[in-house]
Structure formats: structure tokens, C-alpha cells
Chain A
Amino acid sequence: MELSYLIYQLIIGLSYSMLLFLISSGLTIIFGLLNIPNFAHGTLYMLGAYFTYFFLHSLPGASFVVAIILAVIAVGVIGAFLEYVPLRKIYERSHALQLLMTFSFILMLDDATKYFAGTDFLSIATPKLMAGSFTLPGDREMPVYSLFIILCGLVVAYLLWLGLYKTRLGKLVQAGTANKEMLSALGINVPRLFTLVFVLGAVLAGLAGGLAGPLKAVSVGMGETIIITIFAIVIVGGVGSLKGAFIASILVGELNTFGVVFFPSFAMAFTYILVILVLLTKPEGLFRIK
């Protein structure tokens, strides 16, 4: 197999990786600081897609970008509600109970979506500017939108890195992820910080949902089809580690791409094999937050 084809696949895989990173970054931050394994994270991603569709079609003249921004806000509001009302009650409980709680969110949000939007598939058009592709040597096409997703992933990664490492708030989140007691010792309003971080995570999921719109059938249940992959990424990367989520997203995305090229019949098992291999060698993920 020629080198240019491999590089081509590498870039194709990267666009999937970056989409995965957009979703998993939010989950890993929430899981790291709040210590809540939010099973409904995929559902927030779904809501991002639905809201984008809704704003795109209900506001006359709304552009894709405007629709996504509005959708992200809407998902953020829902995230704030989920954190503020039910989740706050169970911070001290076991992971199992927290999982069950967030599972109940999935049930409710899925059915509410079904009630308002129906069960038919919806489809978000690729914005005209990005609908085309570049033709590469060898008569290969590189879709503009795939490159756009890569760009979005890198920009979000950079902004999160800035936010987490260069601002006071980010440093608090870092400190809190490593050591919960430290936050209250520093006199921080912990509940407010938690709400803020949960909303940030929800916003990232919503953004990913909106950006995934042009690549996917928007449908109820699209969150459940991706959530295990996202959890796998967070765990492989190390809970709470942004760098870990970034690297693990690339691993999963590229593994999926090259796996399909070289070992297509194992496609269903790729992610799980990766999880097993990583956890057996690094029981706390690639990048452990101390």
C-alpha cells in the first residue's frame, strides 16, 4: 500500500478522532472534577444535533453557525438544570447510583425528543461553503467539512488547554480534579464551580452534536450508539485528563480507520480490544491525574 494512501487515511481518521474528542473532552472534565460518570453525555450530544436542526429550520435565514450557537446555549441550559436539580443530590453516592441516575436522564430526554421531534430521521445539510472537497493526486477527494471538523477539534483543544492551564478558574478545576478537599479548603463556592463545569461539558457535547449533524442521521437514540466509545476514550486517556482524552480520541479514530482498512472483520471489537490492551498495561489509563 502506497504511502500517500496511508497519509490520506490518516487525515480521514483524524476527522473522526476530532469529533470523538469534542464529545469526550466534556465528559472527561465532568468525570474528573465532579466524579460523576455521566451516562447521558451522549444524549446531550444528540440534543445538540436536534436543536441545531430545529433552529436551522425554524428561524428564517439562520445560518449553520448561528443555529449551532443557539443549540449549544440550549443544551447548556438543559445541562445546568440536570446538574442543579437531580445530580446535586447524589454527589456523595456510589458511581453505580450516579450511573443509574444519568441513565434515567437518557430515558426521559430520549422520549421527550421523540415527543417533540417525532421518530422520523432528520438531516442537517452541510453548509454550502463546506459542501465540496479538494481533489488530491490519485483522484482522491478530501471533503472540506472533514477538514473543518479537524480544525474545530484543534481549536477547542487549544481553547480548553488555555482555559484549564492559564486561567484561575481552570487551575481550580485542575486542583479539584486531583484533590476534592482542596477546593473547600481554598474557600471556593464548590457547588457553583460544579454547575459551571457541568454546563461546560454539556456545551461541548452540544457543539459536537451540531457539528456531527451534516455527517449523521439525526435520530432519537443516536447518543446511546456513541456513549460507550466515549467512555472508552475517557478511561483509556485517564479520567479527568484532557491530554488523555485527546490522545485516546486519536487512537480510537485512527484505529477505526486503519482497522477497517486492514482488519475489517474485527471492526466491532476495535474499541474494546484497545481498552483491554491499555488497561492491562496501564490500569489507570494513559495519563493519570494525581
Chain B
Amino acid sequence: MAKKKITRRAFVKVVGSGALVAGAATFGVPTLLRASSKPIKFGQLNTTSGIMASQGVPGMRGAQIAQEIINQAGGIMGRKLELVQEDDQVKPSVGVRKFRKLVLEDKVDFVFGTNSSGVGLACVPLANEFKKIFISTSMSDKYTGSNCSPYVFRIGESTSMASKASAYCMVANEPGIKKWAGINPDYVFGHESWDFFKKGMKEKKHPVEIVKESYSPFGSQDYKPYITALLESKAEGVFTSLWTGDLINFIKQAKPFGFFDKVKAFVNNTTSFATAIGLGDQMVPFWGEARYYPFYRDTEINRKYISMYRKKFDGYPGADVGAECFATVMALKLAIEKAGTTDTPKVIAALEGLEFEVPEGKKWIRPEDHSGIDEVVLLGKFHRDSKYPFWVYDPKTYFTVPGKEIAMPLDQTGCKMAKP
């Protein structure tokens, strides 16, 4: 299969093009088009209640910022962008009901979101049934693998990318560590993460001795037995895919055991930056891998995203899902403009191979499996920086992997897509 070339021309400046379109909408567009000034509707599912609200609320906010930017610049092809946001309550059954509501009642043109793959994967059959585009903002490889479909996209990093990048980073930065252990959440994501981390090590031909594999249930209250067991195993490096509250609980309980002194490297593949913000000065030095890290790219769109987020919501846009939702709205906008219509098959065609720049960096959507591929995936080691009230990556430790290098090879995705 021929690889698609990325041309420099193809990188679209989101803001710039927005302004252009705004101009076109007011002056240059034929009356016929302007007459259909009915708004374009995006439906969004994320969790805004309960324990996962820490993920979903920033997701909603990220999309709202994108919407504001787009509408201030004149909308999409002269039509206003309307967001219909629904709380999926991290329940697949609710997600399904809300998906139906978005499509049938609110008559949205596109659906995106979810911060749990359980909910997201539940939406896949619906996307197929209703022939609506669904862009996932959760990480499962299944969207672009066994469950792939013409209507389904995932434009952010996947579990396999994040885990393999973590392995590559460790091989490069901590080549001396041979004894590795894992503490991962006891559900699909955790098991897959750990397997891909080991796979990444293998790909780099790094000799690894696994001294401990442990899995903790979601929402565990007490990590101390896991911590002492990891220490007892004398592991030199520990990989984890714990995230949100679980990661914070682990870190807070591990710290007094001297865990982060005794273990030479601790690497995490889902370090939503919100973790660092939450822990503040109680943070510990470890290697983080975030889908979105606010301070790496000093691009116009990133600055704008951060400043708008801070102004509107009083806080840093730490959570991955926020940037991911922002990126999704932007990608959809560009694809609609490229297609010149909101007609689903044409927008699918436009999304395939789309290259765009968002706060997360430059992205490309691989046409064959609809997987978003970042220009680079970034890791870094947290350290204290007096400029911020929380810990950030030490710029000296920035480690990047080209997205194409760690994207799952097409013959391994298991995706057999029937074109509509």
C-alpha cells in the first residue's frame, strides 16, 4: 500500500483559514449557499457527572473554545456551528441513548466525544446504523482495528501508541534498566497498555526481565499492598497506565514509601496533565506521556487555546480530553470545508488523509483505518519549575517519537473496512 505523502502545503493554519472563510461567508459566497444559514450541528458525548467529570468537563470546554473560535471567525462555510453536549454518565447504555437523541432529536450532523472506551465502542454500531460520522476522543485501538468502520474515526493517540512510545523513551533514556514491573488498572485498557509496553521494549530489542505484573481494580482505595509488592520485587523501572484519580492515589500513597527514590524510572502512558495540576507541589519526578502537553509547542493555535481556556474557565487546560475535543471540532470543520458540504460520505472522504494543526501539534488522519497520527508523540520527566504553580516536564528531557513510527502497521490493525 502506498504511503501518503505529507506535503508542506497541506498543513492548514486553522485560525487563518477560519478568517478566510469568515470573509468568504460575508462577501464572496453565492446567495444560494448563504441562504442555507441553518447552523451546522455537532453532537458531543462526554462525562460531566460523577467521578469521571474530571475528564468530561474539560472535554466539553475544549469543544466550546473551538466553537467560539470558529463562530467568531464566521462559522463553517458561513453557517454557524452549534454544539449539542450530552452527559454520558460513563455508562454505555446512557451513551447509546444520548447518541440516538443527538442524531434523531437534535438532528446533529456529526457526533464525537466519550472519555471511556466502553461508552465510545458502544457508539460504533450506532454510527454504522445511522450512517453518521463518529469521532472518538477515547484511546482504544479498537476504533481503528477490530471495530473499525467507514463512519468511525479516532484522531488522538491510541493505547498502543502511548504505551510503545513510553517503552521507546525508556530504552533511550534509561538503557541500564533491565528489571521492569507493571502496575496497571485491571480492565482492558490496563492490560493492553502493559502488553504494548512490553511489545515496544521487544521492538527495540531491549533485554527486559519482568519482575512483577500487577493489576489494581478501578477506583482502588488502598494501593499500599501493590506498592510494597512492587518494592519487594526490586524492580528498577515501573510502567503504569493508571490514570485520573487512581494515578493520584497511587502517587500519594507511594511517595512516603520512598518509592520514587527506590525505583529508578517510573513511566506512565496516560499522564493527563491534570494529574500534575491536581498534585501541585506534591508531585514526584516521573516520566509522563500526555496526549496533550500545554507547554511544548509554542504555536499560535496552542497559545490561543490556553489563553482562551484560562480566561473562560479559570484554570489550565490540563486534561487531554479537552485538547482532543478541540482538535476534533477543528478537524471536522476543515473536512466540511474541504468537502464543501456536510454530506457524510463526502466529509468522510475529506477527513481521510486530512492534515491539520491543533494545540496537540500536527496531525494526519490515515485513510485506511481512520486513525489519527501525530507528527510526534512527546514524553518528558516532571520537575519543579518556579514559573508554574505545578510541576512540568523538564525541557531537557523532552523525548519525541514520530507518530508514523509507532502507529500500528496497517497489516496489524485487524481493520477490514468496507467503503460505503
List A residues at the B interface (Cβ < 8 Å).
Answer: 5, 8-9, 12-13, 15-16, 110-111, 114, 118-123, 125-126, 131-133, 139-141, 143-146, 214-217, 219-222, 224-226, 229, 253, 256-261, 264-265, 267-268
Contacts and interface: CB of A to CB of B under 8 A. Distances in A.
A268 B282 CA distance: 29
B279 interface: yes
Contacts of B277: 120-121
B54 A12 contact: no
B252 interface: yes
B49 A111 contact: yes
Given A110-B50, A219-B51, A257-B222, A140 B228 contact: yes
A118 B225 contact: no
User: Which 4 residue pairs across A and B have the least CB separation, nearest first?
Assistant: A121-B278, A221-B51, A143-B256, A217-B248
B226 interface: yes
A268 B186 contact: yes
A202 B53 CA distance: 25
Most buried by B among A122, A217, A229: A217
B266 to A, nearest CB: 16
B248 to A, nearest CB: 4
Interface string B228-247: 11011000000000001100
Interface string B11-49: 000000000000000000000000000000000000011
A219 B245 contact: yes
A19 to B, nearest CB: 8
B57 interface: yes
Contacts of A145: 256
Nearest to B248: A217
B275 A146 contact: no
Nearest to A125: B282
Contacts of B214: 260, 264
B222 A225 contact: no
Most buried by A among B219, B249, B256: B256
A222 B51 contact: yes
A117 to B, nearest CB: 11
A267 B224 contact: no
A15 B256 CA distance: 14
A121 B225 contact: no
Given A123-B279, A125-B282, A143-B256, A217 B245 contact: yes
Contact of A126 (B54, B232, B256): B256
B258 interface: yes
A258 to B, nearest CB: 8
B225 A216 contact: no
A40 to B, nearest CB: 15
A133 B248 contact: no
Contacts of B224: 12-13, 15-16, 146, 257
B278 A217 contact: yes
B51 A257 contact: no
Contacts of B402: none
Contacts of A9: 225, 228
A224 B51 contact: yes
A8 B228 contact: yes
A259 B226 CA distance: 10
A139 B259 CA distance: 12
Nearest to B259: A141
18 contacts: A9-B225, A110-B49, A114-B49, A119-B54, A120-B274, A120-B318, A121-B278, A123-B279, A144-B256, A215-B252, A216-B245, A217-B249, A219-B54, A221-B53, A222-B51, A256-B222, A260-B226, A267-B186
A193 B15 CA distance: 65
A12 B245 contact: no
A225 B249 CA distance: 13
Most buried by A among B58, B222, B274: B222
B176 interface: no
Contact of B225 (A133, A229, A256): A256
